[in-house]
Structure 1
Amino acid sequence: MSETTRGAKGGLIALAVGTCVFVLVAWFVHTYERVERTVTLPPVGEAAWNPLYVLKQALKADGVRVESRPRFNLPVSALGPRDTLVLLDDPRYLDAARAQALLDWVARGGHLVVRTPPGARLSQHEAMPVLDALGLQVKDPGACEPFQVEGDERHVEFCRARRFVFAEVEPELSWGNLRDGYVYARLTHGQGHVDVLADVDFLGNGTRARGDRPASGGLHDIPHRVLARQILAPNYGQGTMHLVYAVQMPSLWRTVLARGWPVWVPLLVALLGWLWARAQRFGPPLPAPQPARRSLLEHVRASGEHLYRYGKGPLLYAAARKAFLMRLRRRDPVAAALSGEPQVDALARRFGLPAARLRRALQVPTQRERREFADRISLLMHMRNRL
């Protein structure tokens, strides 16, 4: 194949590839349609953990000095005489000294916004220093309260919220009745005011807009904005607005258990697997070892049985006869000095035994005399013990 033919073939291949690419690009441009889509991202930063973030930004936009913090760690002496303090969380976490200091600050012109304890169950003797000092008694949760704003649709508030009643206290403003309990009251305390609410969820951030669904809940609703403006009215724009969205932070261990399980569960499984791999393997249970025997008689008896079983009976007899003769020499030297029949006669008279039996006992038994073996040794031991 010549160089010209090769060049023409390569050009045709390049032209075909270019044509395919052009057709694909033209088809994509002709069929592609540019569409704008709004994606709601999850809140980040302070908006992710501060439930009063929307209220904070709204107050700043209105020119109000505002500060927010997760817990009430600010000294009461640092609060100004025309400041407002909003406590979003359970007021039971304030002790008696802290509660009295807050009420003293309110008496100097401050404004305190506090709620009743949340939850379905409440102990009858549980201390609530702030509410007790104001003369309020907490009741069980009740039904919803209607709240109608002119030009807006029907709305209800404080559903399943814990209500309260007054004990020798005359409120400046109140919402509710004595039979069912009150959901809101404004009490005058010295030169300041205390607003008590059954719930403060209307001050929260609410839900963000998603797709075609607009933002709702919290300060996104018109009735909630109207109610919030009325609650914050006494010192509005006169001092600093302090927003405390959690009087007590959750414990570290509870947070780790509730939110850190994707980390600690695999680590726990890995630890258990490592312990199982490193653990000692045990076989079947063995019987308990026999306790050590310390009886000398048992050892002597076992040794004698062993010697007798293996044909060493004459050694046992020789030891018994030697022990008898040694004691005889110490106790009766005259009889021990004799031998033969005179010795047999002397021993027969001393022990009162037949001479024939004594004669056999002093003779070494043979292997065939197994039956008389035990009788001879028994007789020698008997005479030894009588000496």
Structure 2
Amino acid sequence: MKQRALYSGLLVALALGLVGFWLLDHLERVPVVQREPAQREAMRNPYLALERFTERQGGRLARASDARALERLPPGGTLFLDRQRPHLLSAARLQGVLDWVANGGYLIAVAELPGVADPLLDRLGVSRTPQPLRARQPPGVLEVNLPGGARPLHINLAETTLRPGTRQPAWSAGRRPNAAQILHFSVGRGHLTIAADLDAQLSNARIGDNDHAELYWSLLERYDRSAQPQVLLLSRLRMPTLFTWLWETAWAACLAAGALLGLWLWSVVPRFGSIRPEAAPGRRELREHLAAVGRYLWRSGGLAALLSPAREHFQRRLQHRQPAIAALPPEARATALSTLTHRPATAIAAALAGPADTARSFTAALRLLRNLERDL
């Protein structure tokens, strides 16, 4: 029994070994490509695949979004201009880019959509026209024949066509005459390529379709004058912030304004330290108190209260100097004073007993009482 079980085990092991050997001999490991959702870096950078493809081919691609990079372009390299650039491509900056191309640079520019201003295409005289709806279905393929190319390249058909003006391109690619998708110009010692939909064709989602990547690298091999293709990709251009621009263009004025602001703050901000002793209040004089009371009565409308002491004072002076006139009734007293001082009796009667409701009547009565006192 034991020998029979041993022989059975050996036979089973031998059979499994033969099956395993056959599987190893007939089966082969094959890599399987599986698409994964875009990660955070690919979602943030739509040209991530283009950057890695350029590095893998032996070139170098630098991506920037600062429009000031157009003012310090490397000689002999390649500039790739994305869309959404008209508001940052001033006339002086555009002329600088064209001068850089004429000195041997290579410019690849994506045409703006129809209806959007494009100073670069306007300078070249290139117009844009949207494709009719029937030409967009089904998704078409455009054949591109590069000068000296080994074979035609195929790219997706764009929804916008380009029409050259008086300046004719060195070569173009399109389905119909005067309706191209790619226009290539020779500018001085450099080259300029205008493409209608190159930004979408070289994006992460479509760079692997047709011959998009091969077209991009073929253009660099032909027109990039550097030892290894060096590409500056300007995408999502933006201007520097206000504070950055002020510091770069008016740093002296910024420093002066900061110094003045610091001095002003130093003069107004309370200082911390020991409390100073308060100065002893000065003793007020009686005339200051009387002047304050007079100002209060004047502002509050108490003119009669101010005029009453003056009339009493004049009446005492009159009794001392002219007791006979002081003993007369008010009407006769005013007449006697008018005869004595040669002043109007009505004015004297108003000063002695008339109302003082206004500032004018109050000052007139007070002035006349003072003059009468001097006349006595």
The TM tier, using the shorter chain, reads 0.3 to 0.5
Q: TM-score, normalised by structure 2?
A: 0.46
Greater C-alpha Rg: 1
Q: TM-score, normalised by structure 1?
A: 0.45
